Amino acid sequence: MIFTDSFVYMPELNTPRLRLRRLTMRDAADIYHYSRDAEVARHVLWDAHRSISDSRDYLRYMLRRYRSHEPASWGIEWRQTGEIIGTIGFMWIQSDNSAAEVGYSLSRDFWNRGIMTEALKAVIDHGFMGMNLNRIEAQHETTNPASGAVMRKCGMRHEGTLRQRLYNKGRYVDVELYAILRSEYSSRTY
Ligand SMILES: CC(C)(COP(=O)(O)OP(=O)(O)OC[C@H]1O[C@@H](n2cnc3c(N)ncnc32)[C@H](O)[C@@H]1OP(=O)(O)O)[C@@H](O)C(=O)NCCC(=O)NCCS
């Protein structure tokens, strides 16, 4: 049985450079700073924010999910400055199968410094240790190989290509499916 209580609580997760915490309305300017970037939005299912009111709408949506105990995202805070530089969280959680899917995005200013790998490892730790999940999935568009690199660095294994799995920004896109199982996590070497 999985422990959704600890998810509902969404504990703060700390890593050497990051603090994963619940978002608040005060984060709107930070979210807008990177979410208006079309490059950040290219391979995710949301559109680049056109104004800070889009960022506020996103935050209100996330706060509603916290309140109703639905799967939601942590804000990724850069400890050095306290700024929110991205988000990571569970898209869905299935109690019956003890499974969940994780998704994430990061400000372009911070790409290629191992930051999402650090954040994803913390969420995977929480998924297996805190929530007692058995399987954690993630998927990325085939044309977004950096995300696949993050998944592999976190011990996730490629399971296949889902052809035209998603309709994103005007076209059907192929998606790569990854997952890590509890048994693999227990014998991880990283
Ligand atoms: C994808 C994303 C999360 C990666 O975050 P990040 O913090 O830069 O990731 P890391 O630095 O931990 O690792 C990135 C890896 O991708 C590799 N990489 C970067 N660009 C690449 C490319 N074009 N092709 C192949 N690999 C690439 C890097 O070399 C690095 O691997 P390495 O450590 O083995 O060298 C970030 O770019 C992002 O948020 N993009 C926009 C939103 C998004 O795409 N979210 C994911 C949706 S599935």
How confident is the model over 68-120, as pLDDT tens digits?
A: 999 999 999 999 999 999 999 999 999 999 999 999 999 999 999 999 999 99
Asked if 89 and 98 touch (Cβ cutoff 8 Å), the reply is no
Residues lining ligand 1, Cβ inside 6 A: 40, 43-44, 104-106, 111-117, 140, 144-147, 149-150
- Per-residue pLDDT band for 2 (boundaries 50, 70, 90) equals confident
> By three-state DSSP, how is residue 152 classified?
helix
Asked if 120 and 141 touch (Cβ cutoff 8 Å), the reply is no
User: Phi, psi at residue 123, to the nearest 5°?
Assistant: -70, -40
Asked if 88 and 20 touch (Cβ cutoff 8 Å), the reply is yes
36 vs 23: CA distance, rounded Å = 18
Position 14 scores a pLDDT of 98
- As a residue count, the chain comes to 190
Position 188 scores a pLDDT of 84
Q: How far is the CA of 106 from the centre of ligand 1 (A)?
A: 9
Shortest-distance Cα residue to atom 42 of ligand 1: 105
Q: Where are the domains positioned within the chain?
A: 4-186
Shortest-distance Cα residue to atom 33 of ligand 1: 114
- Ligand 1 atom closest to the CA of 86, numbered from 1: 39
Kindly report, residue by residue over 44-64, the tens digit of the pLDDT. 999 999 999 999 999 999 999
CATH class in words for 4-186: alpha beta
Share of the chain above pLDDT 90, in %: 92
Position 179 scores a pLDDT of 98
- Ligand 1 atom closest to the CA of 138, numbered from 1: 48
**Higher pLDDT residue, 151 or 5?**
151
Residue located via tokens 């050095």? 80
Q: How far is CA 155 from the centre of its chain?
A: 16
Longest dimension (CA), the chain: 46
Query: Which residue from 20, 44, 137, 150 has its CB within 8 A of the most atoms of ligand 1, so it is best to mutate?
Result: 150
Please tell me the pTM assigned to this model: 0.97
Residue 14 has a CB neighbour count (10 Å cut-off) of 13
Asked if 93 and 103 touch (Cβ cutoff 8 Å), the reply is no
Residue located via tokens 């650090």? 118
- Ligand 1 atom closest to the CA of 152, numbered from 1: 34
> By three-state DSSP, how is residue 21 classified?
strand
- Ligand 1 atom closest to the CA of 116, numbered from 1: 7
